[in-house]
Amino acid sequence: MYHLTALVTLLAILFYFFITINVSRSRTKTGVKVPAMSGHPDFERAFRIQMNTLEWMPIFLPSLWLFAIYINDAGAATIGTVWIVGRIVYFIGYSKAAAKRGPGFFIQGIAAIVLWAGTLGALVLRLV
């Protein structure tokens, strides 16, 4: 069973839900009315945090689950947790200034690459 990977998946979805609500709060705080997508730097950063996370979810989630299936649940969950921590660091940094988003992006990017490359390696080994 993949209980740990399921838990990390739910935590990633919870984090995404949190940053989605943050965009709504930022709209209210900065006065950026729907359907506008720009207008205040604080709102624009909150929106980009949400969109960048959404852009990474189709890379992260399949890689997470394939890693759990082809390698193991605990390893997937551990690396998946690192990905979430990276997204949190990204959120904190980018919320302050665009120039501060790098460390979180690096952490989550490395975690996603490890999940993807680890799965690819395990799959190739099984095919040969």
Show me where the domains of the chain are located: 3-122
pLDDT of residue 74: 98
pLDDT of residue 75: 98
pLDDT of residue 111: 99
Does the domain at residues 3-122 carry the CATH identifier 1.20.120.550? yes
Full-model pTM: 0.97
71: burial class by Cβ within 10 Å (0-12, 13-18, 19+)?
middle
pLDDT tens digit sequence for 74-127: 999 999 999 999 999 999 999 999 999 999 999 999 999 999 999 999 999 999
| pLDDT-based confidence at residue 51 (cuts at 50, 70, 90) | very high
Q: Mean pLDDT, to the nearest integer, of 58-73?
A: 98
pLDDT of residue 72: 98
Query: In angstroms, rounded to a whole number, what is the distance separating the alpha carbons of residues 10 and 15?
Result: 9
Q: Mean pLDDT, to the nearest integer, of 39-65?
A: 98
| pLDDT-based confidence at residue 27 (cuts at 50, 70, 90) | very high
Q: Mean pLDDT, to the nearest integer, of 61-65?
A: 98
Query: In angstroms, rounded to a whole number, what is the distance separating the alpha carbons of residues 66 and 89?
Result: 25
